[in-house]
Amino acid sequence: MEYVKFGYGKKIMIILPGASIKPVSLNAETIKEAYKIFAEDFTVYVIDQKKDIEEGYSVDDMVEYVYSGCKGLGLDDVYFYGIAQGGMVGQLLAIKYPGFIRKMCICSTVSRVSDNSIIHQLAVFARKKDIFSLVSSFTKNVMSDDYYNKFFDQMIMVYKNLSDDELRDFAIRVDAMRNFDVVDRLHEIKIPVLVLGSKADRIFSYEQMKLTADILGCESYFYEGYAHDVYDEAEDIKERILNFFIS
């Protein structure tokens, strides 16, 4: 299991990003800078996605990958921050392995994925190896308009040389979300949870995200004026997560 580790706090924090096109560990220094607010209170592990996965790889498989890897590192009683697909993994982790997570924040995610044309479209582009359409659709639907206009050209340059394996793995990970549903099991989550998101998310609807928070009866906050990647764009979001974890 590949991961980025930083910080010197006594508490353990796990960050699990969503279904990214390239490994997040390639941007280790950027990640450390972005999440430096946690470094004093936590030792942070940002877990990368499993590579060379097989067709049919599921969110449940991701749970086993993360759990076994963390156990192998001796990590337990963790503070978990899951983004998008990482938030789906977090919900199922909390259900299957009570006691592993002490507190959990999930952002830009849902507990049930209904028919989702954007997710299907991303998988189709990846399988066709249509990199331009994939990156265009991904950035347009994930980013706010301001971020899209600012970073689109840069994203095209970053992803123009995607390998066949990277495209294949991304398509499989995206497909894994399409039948995800733990709504009927949310009552099994007994830990404090914070649900965050944007009311203008184009990937998952505000109503779907709010449903998760309502069923859990937990704290939640939904931003105005941001897109799916509110986790990168909202200036105060990391402070909000930190305050929840240490309160």
- pLDDT, residue 85, reads 97
CA distance 152 to 143: 10
What CA dihedral angle connects 76, 82, 88 and 92, to 10 degrees?
A: 10
Record the pTM: 0.95
Cα 218 vs. chain centroid, distance in angstroms? Answer: 19
- pLDDT, residue 156, reads 87
| Residues 90/123, Cβ–Cβ less than 8 Å | no
DSSP-H helix ranges across 97-143: 117-127, 131-142
- pLDDT, residue 204, reads 94
CA distance 167 to 165: 5
Residue 92 belongs to what H/E stretch?
helix 85-96
Q: 219 has which bridge partners?
A: 194
CA distance 178 to 112: 9
What's the one-letter identity of residue 3? Y
- pLDDT, residue 107, reads 98
Q: What backbone torsions phi and psi does residue 196 show, to the nearest 5 degrees? A: -125, 155
CA distance 135 to 151: 11
CA distance 169 to 60: 16
Q: Which residue has the tokens 């509110």?
A: 230
- pLDDT, residue 140, reads 92
| Residues 169/52, Cβ–Cβ less than 8 Å | yes
User: 179: helix, coil or strand?
Assistant: coil
- pLDDT, residue 160, reads 85
Domains and CATH numbers, the chain: 3-112+180-246 (3.40.50.1820)
Residue 152 belongs to what H/E stretch?
helix 145-159
CA distance 129 to 146: 27
pLDDT along the chain (247 residues), means of 10: 95 95 87 96 96 93 97 97 98 97 98 86 95 92 90 86 92 92 97 98 94 97 95 96 97
What totals of helices (H) and strands (E) does the chain contain, helices first?
10, 7
- pLDDT, residue 158, reads 82
